[in-house]
Amino acid sequence: MDQIVNVDEFQELAKQALPKMYFDFYNGGAEDQHTLKENVEAFRRIMFRPRVLVDVRKIDMSTKILGFPISAPIMIAPTAMHKLAHPEGETATAKAAAACNTIMIVSFMSTCTIEEVASSCNAVRFLQIYVYKKRDVTAQIVRRAEKAGFKAIVLTVDVPKLGRREADIKNKMISPQLKNFEGLVSTEVRPNEGSGVEAFAASTFDASLSWKDIEWLRSITKLPILVKGLLTREDALKAVEAGVDGIVVSNHGARQLDYSPATITVLEEVVHAVRGRIPVLLDGGVRRGTDVFKALALGAQAVLIGRPIVYGLAAKGEDGVKKVIEMLKNEFEITMALSGCPTIDDITRNHVRTENERLHSML
């Protein structure tokens, strides 16, 4: 692992380590994969406005999310079925999160049970959920998470139907039976053709989910509720109105609606609508510490890391996940120092220049 110098290199190691079906499942996006490329590319069009002659001998990257302290504004995004990447699955990822002193958002589609993840280590973790047609399935999982000491619920709201992931359709991707749902619902769907994941989602996800259902979710849990999957000012305002405790700007890792915008390009729109009333997190396309800085400068309180975590897990297990987080933290620390920002609070909008601003200045 000493030869690895950036998180992108884990992608190639994961490709070598995994069966094609599983690598394609983690790696792919929807349809033409335009948004998949754009999530990463959009960061590259944002430039820095670094400040110099600032005392940066001590850099403090620490911050708080919903009152929980973390070592840097870098959290683990919910990604499905970690045991397809590594035999230890989500428990290895959770241990790495604990070692790096950050928050892991455990996927509803986890291959380890909520209880296994909770008992694997002592760390703050949130649970991401979908709402099923059988509401009681979701309610039971939420109650189990609360009992197991999870600290927040992250409701994914951009999957009334599953996006068309063509690699999964070609590979006839099989959805394994997930232990969290034993005795509640069968997750092992083997369609005659196409993706098993898509067939499972079609049979279980509730396409009628709407803003009023935030009330239902609040009625079954005392935990803070974040909504993940917003990309517009209009939905940000509705989220605040619905009384949620946080927003995750996300296009589902470009796995849902292709040609939806790169998340970093709409972050400010959401931040301006929210006006500091609740935290805004950014998910999608973060591959460098410079990306973390750019997201914070544009108003995010933290970023979520998805694919690089899975690639690290596939390549080197728990140590691979730790290495991914530590690399991003190291790059972020250097970016803070070279931009003249000793603390998170010193990172301002004036430290970056977006493509629109550059084009405008040329007119």
Positions annotated as catalytic residues are 252
**Pairing state between β 63-65 and 68-70:** antiparallel
d(Cα 153, Cα 106) in Å, to the nearest integer?
10
Amino acid code (one letter) for 31:
E
In degrees and rounded to multiples of 5, residue 322 shows phi and psi of: -60, -45
Residues contacting 360, CB < 8 A, separation 6+ = none
